[in-house]
Amino acid sequence: MRAAGFRISKRRVFEANTLFDTSSGDLRSTGRLLRVRHAGTRGVVTYKGREAEGKYKDREELETDVSDPQRTAEILTRLGFVAGFRYEKYRTEYKHPGEAGVATLDETPVGVFLELEGRPAWIDRTAKRLGFPESAYITASYYGLYAAWCRDRGLQPTNMIFE
């Protein structure tokens, strides 16, 4: 990252994420997501809409900070949502001076992933600069990556957390 001109814009932080859904899985079955994230001292609630088809992961995303992610999770539970998949990661955020996109390095229990977030032309240009061909693009969710990792090892998926 440094050789390509990127600099750390947010230092490495531990994130604990919990996905919520209705008891009948209405959100997941329609490609939507409701997440509570605890990242360092920050709490965030996120809604993600359905993904658009294509080589980039593109979907509506609404986020808001919350002062107490555990209390927020309790509120969602009382409203009838069920805590489901939990996943953890360490995230470091990078920016290239003068560019609008963001590169994040996610260290997870099943591997290390680089996420490029920005306009399609920036993503393609940056991926190429970092040595990644378009054939290396992954648009799977963390649950999808984890489920594939478990399937390859003959394991039953549970939660993607550090032991």
* 3-class state of residue 71 by DSSP: helix
In this prediction the pTM is 0.92
pLDDT of residue 6: 97
Half-sphere exposure in the Cβ direction for 63 (13 Å, CA): 11
Q: β-strand 59-66 against 82-95: which pairing, if any?
A: unpaired
pLDDT mean over 124-151 = 95
Range name among 10-19, 131-140, 146-155 with the lowest pLDDT average: 131-140
Q: How far apart are CA 67 and CA 72, in angstroms?
A: 9
Task: Say which CATH topology domain 7-153 has.
Answer: Hypothetical Protein Pfu-838710-001 (2.40.320)
pLDDT of residue 36: 98
Residue 10's pLDDT band, with cuts at 50, 70 and 90, is very high
Tokens 């090892």 correspond to 153
Tokens 């591997």 correspond to 111
pLDDT mean over 89-110 = 97
Bridge partner residues of 44 (DSSP) = 37, 65
Contact assessment for residue 61 and residue 98, using Cβ atoms and an 8 Å cutoff? no
